[in-house]
Amino acid sequence: MKRVSLKRIYLATLTAVFLVTFALFVAFDYVSQQNQAEEALLEEARTFAREMDAVWQFMDNQQKVINTSSDGDYDFKGLHCSIVGKSVGAIFSYNNDYTIRYTNFEPRSYQDRPDAFEAEALTAFNEDSSVTEYYGVAEFAGEERFRYLQALEVDRSCLECHGGPVGEIDITGHPKEGWTLDSVGGAISIVIPLDQQREAVIGNLMLDAGFFLALTLVIGTVVYWVTRSFVLRPLERMSDAFGKMGERSLEVFVHEGGASREVADLIAGFNDMAEELRGVYENLEDQVADRTRDLKAANAELERQRDSLERLSAELAKESELKSDLLSMVNHEMRTPLTTVIALAHMAIEDCDKRLEVSPTPEEEESRAAWSEVLSSSRNLLGMINNMLDVARSDAGMTTVASELMDLGDVALAVSNTVKPIAKRSGVDFRTHVAADVPLVLGDFEKTGRLLENLAGNAVKFTPEGGAVRLGITLEEGTGDVLMSVADNGIGIAPEDQHRIFEKFVQVDISSRRRYGGNGLGLALVKDYAEAQGFDVALESELGRGSTFTVRIPRDLVVEDDYEGAIS
Ligand code: ADP
């Protein structure tokens, strides 16, 4: 939207206000001039009427003197009040636009007949005796004139010629009308031209309007000048300064000269703001320079860190290479001989058993115990090496998990075959129980076996002689999940350790390694294998009372009874 300047708004408002006020003033002045003119005409007419009345009275009073001859005889001269009044009126009206005459409903002379306005007035006088005058602007001789009528009341002197009896010839030779005292005996009718008054009204109006015009022009000019000097000009200066600021020039200062207090306050505020902005801007430049310096330093630091990271990554790559060399070395150089050692230990034990059957000597007993120790340690070692290799594979993202049909009874049997002999040697009662309603599930047979083997191995390891370990597999009622639990009544795990033992290389206490062996990788692997198959592992344990590890196989991995039928 295009904005209108304050100057224009101001001028437009002043002009509009002036025009409206002027129109109102002219209208008001015209009405008031008209009223005044009418008042003046009325006064003039009343004066004429009073004068005529005076003539009438005078003539009435002087009748005796006029009609008495020098001999003292009555000699009617014909100068009665009516004729004199009318004559004076006629003389007065001669050669000008004024008219003064006498009128009556029953005129003795044809010229005294009332016209329409006079007839209205006479009717009003006759109807209401309190109405003694009647006036207004009305038509006379084809023009608008001011008309005034004053009622003539019948007094005693009138009755002589106009009283009763009706029809009797009076002194003037006219038949009497039979008027009564105080009735209306006609009216003096005065007609005054309006031209002069109209001219006067228009003249006055022009004069007033001219004065008003001059006055408002002076006031308007003064107001405009004051506003322009004290408000508009200073505001323009401020607007120019804003424009300069918009062009990024902050070196601006607006002079207050001539501004009103309010605008001067505004300008002072603006100057303060400009100064503050200058300060902020300069500060900003310094800050930007500081930031740039900081950024450069941070960049250099980043470069350094990148270099060291690159070095580290090269080292790590080298280490990783070494690690994989080590792993393949462990795989080939340790696992193979260990498997051979285990097989040999088995054969040696079987041999010892045979010889013991034939001749049970203490040397043979000792030899069998030694081979059992070899077998147990080798198995332990092989377990640790297997865990290590599995963790390394998992870290390298090389673990793959199969999704095959699993009979958990078979898994439990395989685990039992491995763990039971170890438990026996440790004097721990190990038993498995697979509920009859446990269904087939989807999972990786080998990994699930390793998972349970680790849990059961730990349970046996951390249960003192005489203790018991139970591997149970059940179908949970309600949820339909399958639960595999390994419970022991061994040393238990403190609450604060229960979470962290699932991390790699974590053992509850350092002495554990010396006493029980192991490398803290078993549970990490359990967790990895469980999660990879969509299982969940939970632990409940109490220090000194035992632990129960529960692996939950969710219902959606459970295969319904008719699955085999469906796939066969
Ligand atoms: P490790 O090779 O040491 O057994 P694990 O990861 O299998 O490594 O176990 C980590 C630690 O958790 C063990 O060293 C032991 O302190 C504790 N732990 C595991 N299973 C049990 C258990 N059944 N009873 C008590 N402690 C256990």
Most confident of 258-262, 286-290, 540-544: 540-544
Question: 172: how many CB neighbours lie within 10 A of its CB?
Answer: 12
Q: Does residue 369 register a pLDDT over 90?
A: no
Q: Does residue 209 register a pLDDT over 60?
A: yes
* Residue predicted with more confidence, 316 or 502: 502
Is-contact 145 134, C-beta < 8 A?
A: no
Query: Rounded mean pLDDT of 146-150?
Result: 95
- Domain presence at residue 2: no
Q: Which of 201, 223, 243 is the last residue of a domain?
A: 201
Question: What separation, in Å, do the N-terminal and C-terminal C-alpha atoms of the chain show?
Answer: 81
* Cα-to-centroid distance, 552 and ligand 1 (Å): 20
pTM: 0.47
pLDDT given for residue 513 in this prediction: 54
Is the minimum distance from the CB of 462 to ligand 1 under 6 angstroms? yes
pLDDT given for residue 511 in this prediction: 62
Domain containing residue 550: CATH number: 3.30.565.10
* Cα-to-centroid distance, 399 and ligand 1 (Å): 23
- Domain presence at residue 303: no
* Cα-to-centroid distance, 506 and ligand 1 (Å): 8
- Domain presence at residue 86: yes
pLDDT band per the 50, 70, 90 thresholds, residue 538? very high
Is the minimum distance from the CB of 489 to ligand 1 under 6 angstroms? no
- Domain presence at residue 513: yes
**Structure tokens, 110:** 């044809």
Is-contact 410 373, C-beta < 8 A?
A: no
Q: Which of 166, 201, 236 is the last residue of a domain?
A: 201
- Domain presence at residue 520: yes
Q: Which of 151, 174, 201 is the last residue of a domain?
A: 201
Is-contact 518 384, C-beta < 8 A?
A: yes
Mean pLDDT of the chain: 87
What is the extent of the structural domain holding 98?
A: 7-201
- Domain presence at residue 113: yes
Number of domains in the chain: 2
Range in 177-186, 277-286, 496-505 with the lowest mean pLDDT: 277-286
- Domain presence at residue 55: yes
pLDDT given for residue 173 in this prediction: 85
Range in 52-56, 127-131, 320-324, 496-500 with the lowest mean pLDDT: 320-324
* Residue predicted with more confidence, 60 or 556: 556
For residue 150, list its beta bridge partners.
Answer: 133, 188
Give me the residue label for tokens 């207050």: 256
- Domain presence at residue 547: yes
pLDDT given for residue 512 in this prediction: 57
Q: For 470-526, what is each residue's pLDDT tens digit?
A: 999 999 999 999 999 999 999 999 999 998 899 888 877 766 555 666 778 899 999
Residues 6+ apart with CB under 8 A from 32: none
